[in-house]
Amino acid sequence: MRDNLMEKGFMLVCDGSNGAGKTTVIKTIEQYLKNKGLDVVITREPGGTPIGEKIREVILDPSTPEMCDITELMLFGAARAQHITEKIIPALTEGKVVISDRFDAATFSFQHYARGIDLNTICKINDMALNGFSPDMNIILDLDPKVGLERVVQRGEGLDRMEDEKMEFLEKARNGYLTQAKQAPDKFTVIDASKTQEEVAKLVISVVDKLIEKKAFL
Ligand code: TMP
């Protein structure tokens, strides 16, 4: 489905441990690509569309810890379906570069590896939302979740419903990303987010360069 739709656009996902520095990395990539004259769309999950942002508020609200696992999974799926249809496919079709702060790998990490929902159920919901679509590359910023949460707290941000989970939950999610990366090395690049900002930026740019080369973008 994807290749017929797209001419030159491609999609990069920045994902990984909470507090690992996704926002800074996304800004670095955005600037780098804009300097090359490319049209860049920054987006995020859950969210990225008006409907998706409303769903995000419901999912992450720390005042409703009673949300059941399947509700959570379906809400992430619903936000993703809207995101792909309303924003991602149209942008790629116009030849833009889409950079998303989290995407479908997060559902495998958090809802399967951490929450424990069986893979079959995860795939059913994800497949419905994705409809054959897959991003070109997932950059996984890997960090000890204890360090990540300290960073979130230092930034003065309150913890959302997911970050309010036990440390074990976040550790399982982290390992979920590492497992996915081992299983699909052509779609995942893991970057050690405990390195300095400059080192992380250098590594990320080399991933972007390889992707551009692969896409024969320039
Ligand atoms: P963040 O984007 O601010 O990191 O917050 C989003 C939270 O939602 C984060 O804890 C990861 C979680 N999440 C899932 O559990 N499943 C998903 O499919 C996505 C996209 C995010």
| Residue 103 CA, closest ligand 1 atom number | 20
**112, 122 contact by CB (below 8 A):** yes
What is the structure's pLDDT at 156?
86
Q: Ligand 1, atom 6: nearest CA belongs to which residue?
A: 46
| Residue 46 CA, closest ligand 1 atom number | 20
| Residue 79 CA, closest ligand 1 atom number | 20
- The 10s digit of each residue's pLDDT in 88-99 is 999 999 999 999
Kindly give the pairing relationship between strand 10-16 and strand 188-192: unpaired
Q: Using alpha carbons, list the distances in angstroms from residue 202 to 12, 148, 193.
A: 16, 21, 12
What DSSP character marks residue 136? S
DSSP states of 83-129: HIIIIIHHHHHTT-EEEEES-HHHIIIIIIIIT---HHHHHHHHHHH
Q: Does residue 43 have a pLDDT over 80?
A: yes
Q: For residue 175, give both structure tokens.
A: 């390992």
| Residue 163 CA, closest ligand 1 atom number | 10
What is the structure's pLDDT at 3?
47
- The 10s digit of each residue's pLDDT in 118-136 is 999 999 999 999 999 999 9
Listed in sequence order, the residues at least 6 apart from 31 whose beta carbon sits closer than 8 Å to its beta carbon are none
- Give the orientation angle of helix 119-130 with respect to helix 69-83, to 10 degrees: 20
Distance 71 CA to ligand 1 centre (A): 14
Q: For residue 125, give both structure tokens.
A: 């919901």
How many C-beta neighbours within 10 Å does residue 32 have?
17
| Residue 110 CA, closest ligand 1 atom number | 15
User: Alpha-carbon Rg of the chain, whole angstroms?
Assistant: 17
Q: Ligand 1, atom 13: nearest CA belongs to which residue?
A: 106
- Which residue range(s) make up the domain with 59? 2-216
Distance 46 CA to ligand 1 centre (A): 6
Average pLDDT, the chain: 93
Q: Does residue 1 have a pLDDT over 70?
A: no
Q: Does residue 8 have a pLDDT over 80?
A: no
Q: Classify residue 135 as left (phi > 0), alpha (psi -120 to 50) or beta.
A: beta
Distance 92 CA to ligand 1 centre (A): 23
C-alpha distance across the termini of the chain, in Å: 23
CATH of the domain at 205: 3.40.50.300
Q: Based on the structure, what is the number of domains in the chain?
A: 1
Q: Does residue 4 have a pLDDT over 70?
A: no
Write b or e for each residue in 75-88: b if 16 or more Cβ atoms lie within 10 A of its Cβ, otherwise e: bbbbbbbbbbeebb
Residue with tokens 């299983």: 183
> CB under 6 Å to ligand 1: residues?
18, 44-46, 76, 101-102, 106-107, 110-111, 162-163
Q: Does residue 111 have a pLDDT over 60?
A: yes
Q: Does residue 29 have a pLDDT over 70?
A: yes
- Give the orientation angle of helix 50-60 with respect to helix 69-83, to 10 degrees: 160
**176, 114 contact by CB (below 8 A):** yes
What is the structure's pLDDT at 6?
47
- The 10s digit of each residue's pLDDT in 146-176 is 999 999 888 888 888 888 888 999 999 999 9
Q: Give the model's confidence band at 5: pLDDT under 50 very low, under 70 low, under 90 confident, else very high.
A: very low
Identify the bridge partners of residue 10 per DSSP, sorted by sequence position: 97
Q: Give the model's confidence band at 216: pLDDT under 50 very low, under 70 low, under 90 confident, else very high.
A: low
Q: Which of 107, 162, 166, 174 maximizes ligand 1 atoms within 8 Å of its Cβ, making it the mutation to test the pocket?
A: 162
Q: Does the predicted model carry a pTM greater than 0.85?
A: yes
Q: Ligand 1, atom 19: nearest CA belongs to which residue?
A: 106
Distance 217 CA to ligand 1 centre (A): 30
Range 95-116 average pLDDT: 97
Distance 8 CA to ligand 1 centre (A): 28
The percent of residues above 90 in pLDDT, for the chain, comes to: 84
Range 78-90 average pLDDT: 97
